[in-house]
């Protein structure tokens, strides 16, 4: 059986969305209802979770690399305690003006992860709360699901510059869709 992978954005998907603020330290972490259960369901179904996230706060000097590592460690720990597993985390810590190829909507993080684990990104999903996630997913060839627990939900959908394949209220619903309906088919 081929291994299955899924890409998840972090803030506004797993962690509660903090409008105009970053999750700067472990004390800022709050989980969206059902997000840890969603991680458990993915793990139980044999789907490996890869988190991909823009964290320009590091590039801007607002957050130390060490603080970001602690946040990551805590997230991995909490996922494990909930019966889930996050296989890997890929961050873009560049500033917007550095024009890197990994800051979403660019697909660099998707390609790095796919290369590292040897899978085809067109055989997977990306779940995000921001239109830049959807664009990144598209650019990386993934199927995309927008969840309404973060950024894009603040704008009317006719202002969205990319259309997701599916829209779901939150991560848990998105994961149920992936597991029930589609994952076996792509
Ligand atoms: Mg987000
Ligand atoms: Zn980058």
User: Of the ligands numbered here, which is closest to the C-alpha atom of 10?
Assistant: 1
User: Of the ligands numbered here, which is closest to the C-alpha atom of 58?
Assistant: 2
Ligand 1 centre to CA of 45 (Å) is: 24
Q: How far apart are CA 80 and CA 74, in angstroms?
A: 10
Ligand 2 centre to CA of 43 (Å) is: 28
Can you name the residues that pair with 128 across neighbouring β-strands? Answer: 146
At 88, list the tokens: 């890997």
Ligand 1 centre to CA of 10 (Å) is: 6
First to last CA, the chain: 14
Decide: 133 and 113 in contact? Cβ < 8 Å: no
Q: Model's pTM, two decimal places?
A: 0.95
186 residues of the chain, pLDDT tens digit each: 578 999 999 999 999 998 878 899 999 999 999 999 999 999 999 999 999 999 988 877 777 899 999 999 999 999 999 999 999 999 999 998 999 999 999 999 999 999 999 999 999 999 999 999 999 999 999 999 999 999 999 999 999 999 999 999 999 999 999 998 756 555
Q: How far apart are CA 118 and CA 90, in angstroms?
A: 15
Question: Which helix (DSSP H) or strand (DSSP E) does residue 74 occupy?
Answer: helix 65-81
Domain ranges of the chain: 4-185
Domain 4-185 classification at class level: alpha beta
Ligand 1 centre to CA of 148 (Å) is: 10
């Amino acid at each position: 059986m081929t291994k299955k992978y899924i890409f998840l954005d972090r803030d506004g998907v797993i962690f509660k969305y903090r409008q105009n603020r970053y999750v700067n330290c472990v004390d800022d972490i709050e989980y969206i209802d059902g997000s840890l259960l969603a991680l458990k369901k993915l793990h139980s179904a044999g789907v490996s979770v890869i988190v991909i996230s823009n964290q320009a706060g590091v590039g801007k000097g607002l957050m130390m690399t060490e603080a970001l590592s602690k946040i990551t460690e805590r997230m991995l720990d909490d996922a494990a305690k909930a019966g889930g597993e996050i296989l890997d985390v890929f961050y873009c810590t560049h500033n917007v003006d550095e024009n890197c190829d990994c800051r979403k909507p660019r697909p660099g993080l998707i390609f790095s992860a796919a290369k590292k684990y040897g899978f085809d990104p067109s055989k997977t999903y990306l779940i995000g709360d921001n239109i830049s996630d959807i664009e990144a997913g598209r650019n990386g060839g993934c199927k995309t699901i927008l969840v309404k627990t973060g950024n894009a939900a603040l704008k009317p959908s006719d202002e969205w510059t990319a259309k997701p394949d599916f829209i779901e209220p939150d991560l848990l619903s998105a994961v149920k869709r992936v597991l029930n309906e589609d994952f076996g088919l792509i």
